[in-house]
């Protein structure tokens, strides 16, 4: 499932080609995307595209007649893709679930497994995730340390809580903890001040590096241009069970936490 770096990549690619475009027609092809009444989208302009947690957020301007602005949060899930094209002849991938006809080009939402979701909002504040962005100033050492101080939850599962740091998933949680040298099974409250500092620094370093690589692709993820992410070559522990640690040579271990695989080095992570 796309995490923060993959969604950030897509939002950055779409923003310059979609911002300012007028919606001529909107077609909701798959009724499974209907999250309550579908608002009127035709006649609006796209005012911006950005990431919000693990979702791509599109802002639409107001229509005439008192019809105010809209925000659409797109959760890609396993196989969802947002594709923009201005080609007159374009062969779309299978399972187009929604289509925006613009004054220049088209924006398509394709999803072979039909797991992705559309959620409409009448205000930008409502569209924001509960947790803070891990790349923002709000996710500094003091705040993260205060959160962890009372947590008995294993630090790996804590990192994936979207009501704390919005956007981190299974892949990057393992990589962040390896970079910070912290055992994923430790309770959050057990981290010392210097370990919290390393955790926050590793979070920002890993996520920013992954964004520069357009994220990680194992099977399904493709960006808005149909290209795969290249960060997989830099993964140090994730999906590397029994391989020697690149730091100390100890075999990488895999354990299951909340039904998800966690990878770590028992020699480097304490």
Q: Annotated active-site positions, please? A: 2-3, 54, 260
- Using alpha carbons, list the distances in angstroms from residue 40 to 23, 28, 104: 10, 11, 19
List of long-range contacts for 38-44, beta carbons under 8 Å, 24+ apart: 38/120, 39/70, 39/120, 40/67, 41/70, 41/100, 44/70
CA atoms within 13 A on the CB side of 132: 11
For residues 216 and 229, the answer to whether their CB atoms sit within 8 Å is: yes
Instruction: Tell me whether strands 46-52 and 55-60 are parallel, antiparallel or unpaired.
Output: antiparallel
Residues in CB range of 163: below 8 A, 6 or more apart: 130, 131
Q: What is d(CA 211, CA 159) in angstroms, rounded to the nearest whole number?
A: 18
Best CA proximity match to 4, nearest among 216, 247, 264: 216
Best CA proximity match to 1, nearest among 214, 204, 217: 217
Q: What is d(CA 103, CA 44) in angstroms, rounded to the nearest whole number?
A: 11
Best CA proximity match to 121, nearest among 76, 68, 179: 68
Q: What is d(CA 167, CA 90) in angstroms, rounded to the nearest whole number?
A: 32
Q: What is d(CA 14, CA 11) in angstroms, rounded to the nearest whole number?
A: 5
């Amino acid at each position: 499932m796309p995490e923060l770096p993959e969604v950030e990549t897509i939002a950055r690619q779409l923003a310059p080609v979609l911002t300012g475009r007028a919606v001529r027609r909107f077609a909701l092809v798959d009724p499974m995307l209907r999250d309550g009444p579908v608002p009127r989208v035709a006649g609006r302009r796209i005012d911006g595209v950005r990431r919000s947690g693990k979702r791509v957020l599109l802002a639409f301007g107001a229509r005439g007649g008192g019809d105010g602005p809209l925000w659409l949060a797109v959760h890609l899930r396993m196989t969802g893709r947002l594709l923009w094209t201005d080609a007159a002849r374009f062969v779309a991938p299978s399972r187009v679930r929604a289509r925006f006809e613009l004054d220049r080009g088209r924006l398509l939402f394709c999803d072979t497994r039909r797991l992705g979701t559309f959620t409409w909002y009448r205000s930008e504040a409502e569209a924001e995730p509960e947790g803070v962005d891990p790349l923002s100033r709000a996710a500094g050492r003091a705040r993260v340390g205060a959160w962890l101080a009372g947590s008995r939850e294993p630090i790996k599962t804590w990192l994936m809580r979207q009501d704390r740091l919005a956007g981190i998933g299974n892949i990057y949680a393992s990589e962040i903890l390896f970079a910070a040298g912290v055992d994923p099974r430790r309770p959050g409250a057990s981290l010392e001040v210097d370990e919290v500092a390393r955790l926050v620094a590793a979070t920002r370093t890993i996520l920013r590096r992954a964004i520069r690589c357009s994220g990680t692709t194992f099977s399904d993820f493709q960006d808005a241009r149909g290209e795969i992410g290249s960060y997989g070559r830099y993964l140090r522990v994730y999906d590397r069970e029994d391989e020697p640690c690149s730091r100390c040579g100890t075999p990488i271990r895999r354990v299951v936490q909340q039904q998800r695989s966690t990878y770590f080095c028992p020699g480097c992570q304490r």
